[in-house]
Each structure stands twice: as structure tokens, then as C-alpha cells.
Amino acid sequence: MKKTYKFINRLINKITLNGQPNNDSFSYYGHWVELQSGTVDYVSVIIYNTSDRYSGTLMEFQFDFWTRELCFDVISCDEVYDAVVKAFKSVYYNRHIRGIE
């Protein structure tokens, strides 16, 4: 049975909210999440396998809110990639997101 990574959709919704700081770290559904950014229109995201940052990386990506460009550095499996892509498409209503289409 394939894991569905349902928390990813909720996490992408949280990350893309206007009120979410782009420099933040928090535990989310058993995963440690780090957001880093030098500008308001860009965020680098690292999501770890567990709430322990030394457990390994589940995924790492950057997203540019202005150009809607999504770039992956680390992705643990195809299911995680598919879940992230689906989540971004749902947030941006299937508009073109550079890097995934």
C-alpha cells in the first residue's frame, strides 16, 4: 500500500498563506519543517522524515511566489513529489507552475 502523504496538502496551504512567516521552523504532523527566506516572495522549505531534524530529509524545495516557480533539491520518492505538485496546483487552481509542467 502506497503512503498518501495527506499532510503535505495541508502544509502547502499553510506555507502559502499571507500570514505565514517565511523564516520559521515548527513541527507539523510528526515532521520538522524549516522555512527560510531573504525576501517576502521566496521561500526555501526543508521537511524532515520525523520531528527530529537529524532523521533525514523527506523533501527540500524552493518556491517563488511571484513567478510561481517550484524547484526541488531533494525528494525522497515519487509519491512525495506527486503530493507536493498536487498541493501547489490546488492552491494556484491549476495555473502554470514553472518547474513542474
Summarize pLDDT for 67-95 with one digit per residue, the tens.
888 999 999 998 999 999 889 888 888 66
Of 25, 33, 38, the closest CA to residue 84 belongs to 33
Give the mean model confidence (pLDDT) for residues 18-41.
93
1 in a domain, yes or no?
no
Cell 531573504, residue located: 38
87 residue type, one letter: A
Three cell numbers written together for 34: 524549516
Query: What is the model's pLDDT at position 5?
Result: 85
94 in a domain, yes or no?
no
For strand 69-75 and strand 57-64, is the pairing parallel, antiparallel, or unpaired?
antiparallel
SS3 60: strand
97 in a domain, yes or no?
no
Summarize pLDDT for 53-70 with one digit per residue, the tens.
999 999 999 999 888 889
Element (H, E) at 79: helix 78-91
DSSP code, position 23: S
78 in a domain, yes or no?
yes
For residue 100, pLDDT beyond 90: no
Number of structural domains (the chain) is 1
Answer yes or no: pTM beyond 0.85. Answer: yes
State which residues form the domain around 31: 7-89
